[in-house]
Amino acid sequence: MAKGMTKTALVRHLAEKLELTNKQTAAFLELLAETAVKETKKNGEFTIPGIGKLVKFRIAKVAKDTIAPVKK
């Protein structure tokens, strides 16, 4: 299976294409990730136009009544 691009490779690629330093590009990606997590927790979803959407996923808890009691 082919491996995806590493964070370092992504930073270098974007920095080269945008004519920025690796440090500036890494800071931008870190800010984007922090914002995405914060907004997903707050609103349940975060959309990056042209890329995709992050959605908060929550597994429902099983009600205690639905579990059959164990008889001894």
**Averaged pLDDT for residues 56-72:** 66
Q: What is the per-residue pLDDT across 14-61, written as a single tens digit (0 to 9) for each?
A: 999 999 999 999 999 999 999 999 999 999 999 999 999 989 887 776
- Side chain identity, residue 10: L
The encoded tokens of residue 70 equal 């164990």
Helix, coil or strand: residue 71: coil
Helix, coil or strand: residue 47: strand
Q: What secondary structure letter does DSSP report for 59?
A: P
Q: Flag whether pLDDT at 69 surpasses 70.
A: no
**Distance in angstroms (rounded) separating the CA atoms of residues 2 and 39:** 31
Q: Please state the pTM of the whole predicted model.
A: 0.69
What's the pLDDT score for residue 57? 82
Q: What is the per-residue pLDDT across 36-47, written as a single tens digit (0 to 9) for each?
A: 999 999 999 999
* Nearest of 47, 5, 10, 6 to residue 28 by alpha carbon: 10
